[in-house]
Amino acid sequence: MDVDTQPTPAGQRGPEVVLNLTADDRTILQALPPAEGRQWMLDRVVYHREYARMLSSMYNATAPIHRHLPPELLMEIFGRLEPEELQELKYLHVCRMWRELILRTAEFWVGMLRNPIRFPNGNTPGVQSYSESAWYQCFKLSLERSAPRDIFLTSQGFSELAYTSLLPHAQRIASLSVELYPQDASRLFGLLRLGMPRLRTLVVSHLPGELTSMDELGGGTLPLLPQSRSSEAANLPSLHVLSIPSVLLTSISGGSLQSLTVGCAACKLCSEARRPSVDDLLSFLRQYPFLTSLHFLKTSEPDSNRRLTESGPVSLMQLHELTFEDTSSSWASDIMRRLTLPSNAIVKFRNRNKPLIPEKFRDLPAVHASDRLALEFRKEEDMHHGATIAVCEADASVGDTSYVNVQVAVRESPGRHDTVGSVASTFASPSVRHLRVWIPTSSFRIDRTRTIRLLASFPSITRLTWKRQVPNDLFQALTSLTSAGGPICAGLEHLVVHWRLGSRTDETIFRGTCTLILSTLAHRASLGSRVRRFVFKCEGMKRMGPRFDAEREKDRLVQTFSTLAVEVVVGLKLDTTD
């Protein structure tokens, strides 16, 4: 066999390729027939590849990082890595030493399991081969190598494959967050009932989004599970945090809950399933008097058709925060009447689709003790329907600590649902000293009458901050008198007005408003209610005349208002954009 050169492909002329072989290899090849020579060359290729891999491994093993850092420190570093996906095994392929150390580092595999897991439901094509996938093999490896550490899991779906995979490791699960298909509930609670002594956090929900049929979740409805008073209920002795649909709530018992979230954000399954009664909910809450956080979501409202047995209130004297999210105001008031809360509990109500405020909020001690109230009107995007909604947020606080927060819808035509009137009646208190109102656009219909009602609800305010596109209603309201004949908000000392001029506001309108302000301050001063500090800031001044000088106008206003206030601050900001 000629081993000195290799000819070019047949039919082509060109330079010959010289093979630089060792003398021994030349001797061997010259003695072999062509077929055997080719096989010999393939064998040598395999040998040299393996030899190169071995040299690479030795090279990596003698790297400076391995000479200066002991294996224990490298394992500590690997344990602090945060893999971004379950199959992120690139660290195992750096070198043999890294692979061996990582396989021994349980914390690395605990971090791997923190990534979300998706188990298919029974209707998903290819479920039978799912257990053979590289992803699932990595998941199994992570479960095995993470022992004996606690593991923290987030799963979409809870199929039979999930059940059988987690069953040997259930004793180590410290946190479990699951988005259920309907048929998954029995399997999940079957695992919970077998015993999970280290489980501290359990979050159960349904797949997000609006569903047109139950088939989109794999078919079926949520099953009836054992109640908490039953011996078959899931007993979780270490549970501290629980978030669960109301239809599944009473299937849990045990633990020393500190945080409880009941309901789903939006779920047809919960609305169609058999929900617990008020008695069921109160009985559950009585088991956990040391709750510090209680959160009710949209579908937490109990079955109104089920009989209610009146019993004493549930005492939750350790509760720090109570929140109602997208529940009805009547349900919020109903449950609050049955709870005994500490005076310093923070209470929140958010329903951006309804304008009603729970009546029970008027009786909250924090409302009557608050010295500050912030009221903001704004436009928000409705994520579910893609529309713009009007929202009013009221926040009552003592000092810098917020204790009562309400967010409700604002109707374009107030009618009998007057949001300003509801806020005024709910938060009315002589203890409020600072009132802040922000109304960014003129589309919110808050006229002089509603402004008077709002101000009259807080007779003791000494500081008023008012941000609005058209401030005229405020100054007209400040000229009104109380039933006793005195000025409204007689103790007002600090008045801050932010005026965002609209596109139609010209110099004539601007000067007319300034005249109204001057007459209002003069009227109050004549009644013995002189303002000590007046701050007047205007932005977006666009349609002013060609001779309008902002600096000169500011100086003029400061001089004019100074005759009626001890301290005056004026800011004028022109808008030069087209």
> What is the average pLDDT across 451-467?
93
404 within domain boundaries: yes
Residue written as tokens 């945080």? Answer: 259
Give the closest residue to 326 by CA, choosing from 278, 264, 281: 264
| Same-domain pairing of 426 and 495 | no
What are 398-432's pLDDT values in tens digits?
998 999 999 988 875 555 567 888 888 899 999 99
- Across 135-139, 187-191, 445-449, 500-504, the highest mean pLDDT is recorded for 187-191
What are 350-372's pLDDT values in tens digits?
988 888 899 888 888 888 899 99
Give the closest residue to 492 by CA, choosing from 522, 458, 467: 458
253 within domain boundaries: no
505 within domain boundaries: yes
What are 80-125's pLDDT values in tens digits?
888 777 666 777 877 778 888 889 999 999 998 998 888 876 555 5
Question: Quick check: 159 pLDDT over 90?
Answer: no
Per-residue confidence (pLDDT) for residue 257, from 0 to 100 = 92
Write the DSSP assignment of 333-365 as a string of letters. HHHHHTEE--TT-EEEEEETT-----GGGGG-H
Q: Which of 198-207, 268-277, 392-401, 536-545 has the lowest mean pLDDT?
A: 268-277
Looking at per-residue pLDDT, the higher value among 179 and 469 belongs to 179
Q: What is the number of other CB atoms lying within 10 angstroms of the CB of residue 201?
A: 17
3-state DSSP call for residue 200?
coil
Q: 17 has which bridge partners?
A: 6
| Same-domain pairing of 492 and 550 | yes
Rg of the chain's alpha carbons, rounded to an integer? 36
Element (H, E) at 555: helix 550-561
- Domain at 421, CATH number: 3.30.720.90
Question: Quick check: 376 pLDDT over 80?
Answer: yes
| Same-domain pairing of 536 and 436 | no
Per-residue confidence (pLDDT) for residue 150, from 0 to 100 = 94
401 within domain boundaries: yes
| Same-domain pairing of 472 and 578 | yes
| Same-domain pairing of 422 and 490 | no
Q: What is the 3-state secondary structure (H, E, C) of 74-125?
A: HHHHHHCCCCCCCCCCHHHHCCHHHHHHHHCCHHHHHHHHCCCEECCCCCCC
The per-residue pLDDT of the chain, averaged, comes to 82
Cβ(246)–Cβ(275) below 8 Å: yes
Which pLDDT band, with edges at 50, 70 and 90, does 339 fall under? very high
381 within domain boundaries: yes
| Same-domain pairing of 468 and 573 | yes
| Same-domain pairing of 508 and 564 | yes
| Same-domain pairing of 352 and 426 | yes
| Same-domain pairing of 475 and 543 | yes
272 within domain boundaries: no
What are 481-506's pLDDT values in tens digits?
888 888 999 999 999 999 887 667 77
Per-residue confidence (pLDDT) for residue 12, from 0 to 100 = 42
Which pLDDT band, with edges at 50, 70 and 90, does 66 fall under? low
Give the closest residue to 104 by CA, choosing from 76, 67, 125, 135: 76
What are 517-533's pLDDT values in tens digits?
999 999 999 999 999 99
Per-residue confidence (pLDDT) for residue 383, from 0 to 100 = 62
429 within domain boundaries: yes
CA distances from 130 to 122, 125, 136, 159 (A): 11, 9, 7, 11
Domain tally, the chain = 2
Six token digits for residue 161: 């494959």
Per-residue confidence (pLDDT) for residue 241, from 0 to 100 = 95
Which pLDDT band, with edges at 50, 70 and 90, does 442 fall under? low
> What is the average pLDDT across 161-171?
91
**How far, in Å, CA of 428 to CA of 417, rounded?**
17
| Same-domain pairing of 362 and 402 | yes
| Same-domain pairing of 467 and 556 | yes
List phi, psi (to 5°) of 403.
-115, -30
Six token digits for residue 258: 């500190």
Per-residue confidence (pLDDT) for residue 52, from 0 to 100 = 87
How many percent of the chain have pLDDT more than 70?
81
66 within domain boundaries: no
Domain termination site, one of 442, 473, 502: 442
| Same-domain pairing of 416 and 522 | no
Give the global pTM.
0.79
Domain termination site, one of 411, 442, 473: 442
Q: Please give the residue range of the domain that contains residue 362.
A: 330-442
Which pLDDT band, with edges at 50, 70 and 90, does 387 fall under? confident
428: left (phi over 0), alpha (psi -120 to 50) or beta: beta
Per-residue confidence (pLDDT) for residue 87, from 0 to 100 = 64
Per-residue confidence (pLDDT) for residue 25, from 0 to 100 = 84
